Amino acid sequence: MTSTGAGRFAPSPSADLHIGNLRTAVLAWLFARSTGRRFLMRVEDLDDRTFTDIAERQLADLAAIGITWDGPATRQTEHAQRYNAVVDTLREQGLLFECFCTRRDIAQAPRAPHAPEGAYPGTCRDLTDAERESRREETGRPPALRLRTDVTKYTVHDILHGDYTGLVDDFVVRRGDGVVAYNLAVVVDDAASGVDQVVRGDDLLPSSPRQAYLAQLLGHPEPVYAHVPLVLNDEGARLAKRDGAVTLTEIGVPEAMAQIADSLGYRARSVEQMLDEFDPARLPSAPWVYRPG
Ligand code: GLU
């Protein structure tokens, strides 16, 4: 099977990858390669731009477990022009508004009786020019930019979760400090690099309606989504460094591959061999509980 599209893995270089992240990368690679797609690597360093050594270790670990990618790994910090162009376009279309709210303002704002939990309450959406000017003076800091959305929810289709409907509020596309927001960067990067298949941890499923909404607004097709179960520790919390030996350096390649393959129900011990057996329909839907040895 061949395709002109691409899948990708997009690690944030905030810490070494743990076995759960590696398993997600293996799945993203299997989904892409089994459908004839290219596989791209993107370092999501907008928030962690100083941690280049972590990014290098992440890429080395991915290569060590047999993950291959097409072309060099890219970095979000190289894409500022691409993001700014999209922000400009949205602004010209009247689809952005300046927001002066702090997190606290948002938490304390009065809400409409049926406003969805966690949604931006609309405080700055319809400010007059004079109000905006006075907010700017009061706060003394540059505003964030939010998208003026015309829906409150949006439905995406996910291979593993079926139809998923989630909140779409007037979300931030550029923060007050000038850095573009994750939701915008992901959509713009995926579209610019031909990514049409997004496989990632299911902690990001609730972000996908916002991203898919923005993608269609920008005229991009919705990617195929597969949000895969996270790896948990034996207390049911998300696996983390403090749980013990969880990184590739600590576990070792053969043991890590054995663990990942077992968790997916494969006898294979390499990603190439897993590819021969890969069947998305057979993926376990429950989280994988990992007990560091
Ligand atoms: N950078 C995100 C993470 O490491 C993943 C983003 C994505 O796959 O869309 O959790």
Q: What is the reported pLDDT for 2? A: 59
Q: What is the reported pLDDT for 82? A: 97
**Does 12 contact ligand 1 (Cβ within 6 A)?**
yes
**Does 200 contact ligand 1 (Cβ within 6 A)?**
yes
Binned at pLDDT 50, 70 and 90, residue 291 comes out as: confident
Q: How confident is the model over 118-168, as pLDDT tens digits? A: 789 999 999 999 999 999 999 998 999 999 999 999 999 999 999 999 999
Binned at pLDDT 50, 70 and 90, residue 72 comes out as: very high
Q: What spacing in Å lies between the alpha carbon of 188 and ligand 1's midpoint?
A: 14
**Does 10 contact ligand 1 (Cβ within 6 A)?**
yes
Q: What spacing in Å lies between the alpha carbon of 16 and ligand 1's midpoint?
A: 14
Q: How confident is the model over 237-260, as pLDDT tens digits? A: 999 888 888 999 999 999 999 999
Distance from the Cα of residue 175 to its chain's centroid: 17
Q: What spacing in Å lies between the alpha carbon of 255 and ligand 1's midpoint?
A: 25
**Contact predicate 161/55, CB 8 Å:** no
Instruction: Give the pair of three-digit tokens for residue 125.
Output: 């959406």
**Contact predicate 275/34, CB 8 Å:** yes
Q: Tell the residue nearest (CA) to atom 7 of ligand 1.
A: 10
Q: How confident is the model over 32-67, as pLDDT tens digits? A: 999 999 999 999 999 877 778 999 999 999 999 999
Q: What is the CATH number of domain 6-76+229-289?
A: 3.40.50.620
Residue 141 and residue 79: Cα distance in Å, rounded? 25
Going from N- to C-terminal start, the domains of the chain cover: 6-76+229-289, 82-174
Asked whether the domain spanning 82-174 has the same topology as the one spanning 6-76+229-289, the reply is no
Say what the pTM is. 0.94
Q: How confident is the model over 78-124, as pLDDT tens digits? A: 999 999 999 999 999 999 999 999 988 888 888 776 677 778 999 99
Q: What is the CATH number of domain 82-174?
A: 3.90.800.10
Element (H, E) at 136: helix 129-139
Q: Atom of ligand 1 at shortest distance to CA of 186?
A: 9
Q: What spacing in Å lies between the alpha carbon of 43 and ligand 1's midpoint?
A: 9
Q: Atom of ligand 1 at shortest distance to CA of 203?
A: 10
Distances (CA, A) of 266 to 23, 54, 276: 13, 30, 10
Binned at pLDDT 50, 70 and 90, residue 223 comes out as: very high
Binned at pLDDT 50, 70 and 90, residue 1 comes out as: low
Q: What is the reported pLDDT for 175? A: 96
DSSP character string of 35-61: TT-EEEEEE--SS-TT-HHHHHHHHHH
Residue owning tokens 């923005």 = 214
